[in-house]
Amino acid sequence: MIFRSSVTNYLTFLIGVLLAGLLVATAILADQAWNVRTRALAIARYTNTDRTLIDAIVAVREQVPTDATALITQDNPVRAMEEADRKATREVAGAITALEKLNIAGGARYVAMIREARAKEAEARSALAQQALRARADRDLSAVDKWRAAVHQSIDVLDAASVAVNNLVRIDDSKVAELKEIRRLSWSIRDNYGFQCSALRASVNSGLRPSVALRESLIGHRAVYSADWGALNEIFLRPGLSRELSMDVRSARLATEQAQASVDKVVAGLGAANNPPITGSDWTALCDRPFRPILAIGQQAQTDADRYAGDLSSAALRNMLLAALCLAIVVTFGGHSVINVRRRLTRPMRVLTETIDRLSRRELDEPVPATGSSDELDRMAQTLETLRLSELEARRLQQAMSHFTANASHQMRTPLSILRVHIAVLKKRISPSLDAIESLKDIEDAVERLQSLLIQLLFLARADGGALAASGDNVVDMVEVIGEIVDQHRPRAKKANVSLNLEADASLAPVDLNMTLVAEMVGNLVENAILYNRPGGKVTVKLSDARGRRLIEVEDDGPGIPDAELGNVFMRFYRLKRDSGRPGSGLGLAIVQAVAATLKADIEAGPGRNGLGLYIRISLPQGL
């Protein structure tokens, strides 16, 4: 009776613990579902507020083409101008109301900034009204530049408020962040494309060719919106976006390209006969053609965000139902899980964890123990053992490859030297007028490239074998050494029509480093920057000090490397397909990485500071 009572008490206690755990688990699931619902409601509020801000931005921005077209084409443009102003005022008022209701941190400051910007815009509008009172032929669009600048100031303030609203949800939800980024990019495309329409309106109206400064500004804006299209394409390479949004992007890009081609054609005809090549209204219609498709991208992104918030709300309800289902499942199988799963998992998991820790320290001598059961954990143990053996084999193969590379390179140096001697003799004996001299020069160039490749392979073999010494024999001046390296490469840069510049702090103190290795590393960086640059390009080498470390920066403004392939630039023999016809072995940056590792230096690679070319930064210790 006592035994049975003890068993009953034990089972009662166990069931109580399980039920308590179930209540906690259910409460957690319910809390998570509630948080999801709260987040969905917040996303809906922020999205709706952002929608009103975007509507206000569009209405304010539309004043510029509407008013300019009215000034050019209408004898009495006041009515059209007042209608555009009323619409902008109405939309801005709605945005301010929504922003005040949202009650975000700093919201009052943004409301004040919006009102102040609109007040300045209204003040500058007097110049617009004065032009409207003049005869159509006497109106000067350049006289309203101050008002146009005030309009763009209002747009900037509204956009800043939009960014502030979006940032509240971007941090917590990557999906909404992506949709908001799409919306931001679409507006940036719209604004930068539309800049040319406003900026060129005076030139189109007069038929005169725009100034050089204006043309350069237009090129800059086109580069910005072209980059925005590229960013949109990168986003759409990732899954999860709606088909409607993808179709809107394709439609808007096609419309923009077609309209831009027509704009370019009109601009090309300016100055030919000093006559307007197109009427003001036709110019507005041409410019406005892609505006709606572009704005449709942002509107669809907003719609998708609303739909996503609704999906989150539905997910919250499903999670509540899931909590109830989990309660029933755990009640049924809880006892079995506590008694059996614990016994089957605890010891094998501890053994595997200790093994993984050992393997992470690169301790590969001891085999991975089996778990003693034919389940997933045993298969994991077998996989870890396979990985251990593979790593050991990889080490052996790497050592063998290093030895082979060194031996083969050494063996080939002698026949190459003999070949160089014979080529020199033949060059003396063959008349320069014979066709054979060109073939001989090709052979000589091939020998030079092969010898350079062998030197690089030998260097990498020494690096793999740990034969490179990081410290030098004495303290040396890095400014002087790197200056000599740059000077050595100036003839090659001149031949490639590439400017080569050195920016070094002459006050830098000497350091204790192996300057032979530093010279090898910087030489390869400079050679790579020159080789893969474009005619008329620029290579800049910088040497400076930062927080106790020497910084070597090499930057070019060539075609650069796609972001997707940046991680491969230090691989041996790696080259882009577009560079297959250029000389080079694909070992230069691999040598740079090997030297940097020997010198305990940090190395980074990325696009140039202006988005062009390749930028490589090496941070060296000041002594070893």
H/E stretch holding 606: strand 602-607
CA 203 to chain centre: 37
Supply the DSSP symbol for 511: B
Per-residue model confidence (pLDDT) at position 120: 92
* Closest by CA position to 409, among listed 372, 359, 365, 462: 462
**89-98, 122-131, 337-346: which has the minimum mean pLDDT?**
337-346
Spatial strand order of the sheet with 538-546 comes to 499-504, 538-546, 549-556, 614-621, 602-607
Read off the pLDDT of residues 357-394 as tens digits, 9 standing for 90 and up.
Answer: 777 666 767 777 776 666 666 777 777 777 777 766 66
**What's phi and psi for 505, nearest 5 deg?**
-80, 110
Residue whose pair of structure tokens reads 């000599």 in the numeric block: 484
Name the pLDDT band for 274 (thresholds 50, 70, 90).
low
Per-residue model confidence (pLDDT) at position 86: 92
Is pLDDT above 60 for 617?
A: yes
Per-residue model confidence (pLDDT) at position 421: 61
pLDDT top residue among 167 and 192: 192
Is pLDDT above 90 for 37?
A: no
Per-residue model confidence (pLDDT) at position 467: 46
Name the pLDDT band for 427 (thresholds 50, 70, 90).
low
* Closest by CA position to 241, among listed 170, 312, 162, 174: 174
pLDDT top residue among 427 and 317: 317
Calpha distance 30→33 (Å, rounded): 5
Calpha distance 171→551 (Å, rounded): 34
Name the pLDDT band for 404 (thresholds 50, 70, 90).
low
Full set of structural domains in the chain with CATH: 2-317 (no CATH), 387-464 (1.10.287.130), 478-621 (3.30.565.10)
The token duo for 33 is 């579902």
Is pLDDT above 90 for 116?
A: yes
Per-residue model confidence (pLDDT) at position 97: 92
Is pLDDT above 50 for 16?
A: yes
Most confident range, picked from 36-40, 424-428, 448-452: 36-40
Is pLDDT above 90 for 93?
A: yes
Name the pLDDT band for 206 (thresholds 50, 70, 90).
confident
Calpha distance 526→53 (Å, rounded): 49
Is pLDDT above 70 for 498?
A: yes
Q: What is the CA radius of gyration of the chain?
A: 35
Amino acid at 448: E
Name the pLDDT band for 91 (thresholds 50, 70, 90).
very high
Is pLDDT above 60 for 468?
A: no
Determine the average pLDDT of the residues in 156-162: 88
Per-residue model confidence (pLDDT) at position 585: 58
Amino acid at 126: S
